[in-house]
Amino acid sequence: MLRAREQADQVEPDGESVRLGDIVLRNRLVTSSSLLGYGVSNSALVPYGMSPVSLFVPLAEFGAVTTRTLTVEPREGHFTTRDDWPLTALPGLLKRYGTVMRGTDGGWLNAFGWCNVGIGAYLRDYYPRTRDQRTIISLGGFSAQEFVTLVDRVNADVPAGDIAAVEFNVSCHNVNFDFSTILQDVLDEAVPRSNHPVILKLSPDYDYLRNAQQAAKAGVSALTAINTVKALRLDPRTGEPWLANRYGGLSGRAIKPIGLRVVSELREAGVTLPIIATGGIRTVDDCREYFWAGADAVSLGSATWLASHPGYLLSPLRALHVRRVLKAVRRYRTLPTRSAALR
């Protein structure tokens, strides 16, 4: 992390940028992991991995675009890594999609299980096509050694300062793993090796206050709060789980009060690391609430990017709303107090 900090000192934010500790963003509005895939689609007709809404929004104008969580090797998870589906395969794809993501009361339930092309393919095939964007690369693994390998791969392919940060996803429920058993080792071994600032993604289902304190001691540059909330829905007629993984991660409007609580409690506990808040953010008022709670930046997730399949026909109109939110937050340069609000 020392090298990352030295590099950050050399990268001065211009008039359109903000600094969160070691992290330089173009503004205080970023995008959440997974909803926009790898920041670019391989197909204009079937934008696999990217919300159709995002096709009508200038991604390069966001503070940063966060990638889908990437692992050392390609991982099918509970879905598929394929992203070249022909239109004739779309009905079957949508049916399969329903086993890993469903709309529910006030939000979305998903269990993709870290489905991704792997860090090597991302750096080779996707990252070079998103150089106009400010990027946060999300990384996930099941051991400290895997995180070390991921960090080393990013260090080798991405010069310090070329991305905003790497985000350590050590809190996902969809992969059926207890990350509390490896968190300290990940922080001790992988954080010091990174040439880029490290963001730790917190779950409201783990001891997030303790995890934040561990992160601060380990030299982590910022926190993302929150990851999805572990949840379950059953078919009321059969008792079968909605998702192939049984349990999934709940996101969207339903978890906004939880996200606000976590951000506020982190500040009340004396956590001073910059916080990127996410959870149910859709409007300027949502952003304002999170800033009042203590966030330094906010992230648009499923509440913004997801809709019912027929609802995606309104993507251009939904994108106009996203543009308005982006325009408002871009004007918000500084946080003079924790209770400052958007004007």
The gap between the terminal CA atoms of the chain, to the nearest Å, is 36
> Is 77 in a helix, a strand, or coil?
coil
Angle in degrees, 0-180, between the axes of helices 315-330 and 284-293, rounded to the nearest 10: 40
Q: What is the dihedral of CA 306, 307, 310, 312, to 10 degrees?
A: -50
Q: Starting at the edge strand that comes first in sequence, how are the strands of the sheet with 248-251 ordered? A: 101-104, 107-110, 248-251, 229-231
Angle in degrees, 0-180, between the axes of helices 144-157 and 183-190, rounded to the nearest 10: 30
Active site residue 172: yes
**Among all chains, which residue has been given the structure tokens 């996410």?**
278
Could you please report the per-residue DSSP string of 129-187?
Answer: GGTTS-EEEEE--SSHHHHHHHHHHHHHHS-TTSSSEEEEE---STT---GGGTHHHHH
Out of 109, 115, 172, 295, pick the active-site residue: 172
CA 211 to chain centre: 18
Which parts of the chain fold into alpha helices (H)?
2-10, 90-97, 119-121, 144-157, 183-190, 208-218, 256-268, 284-293, 302-305, 315-330
- Structural tokens at position 160: 């310090």
Q: Which residues are identified as catalytic?
A: 172
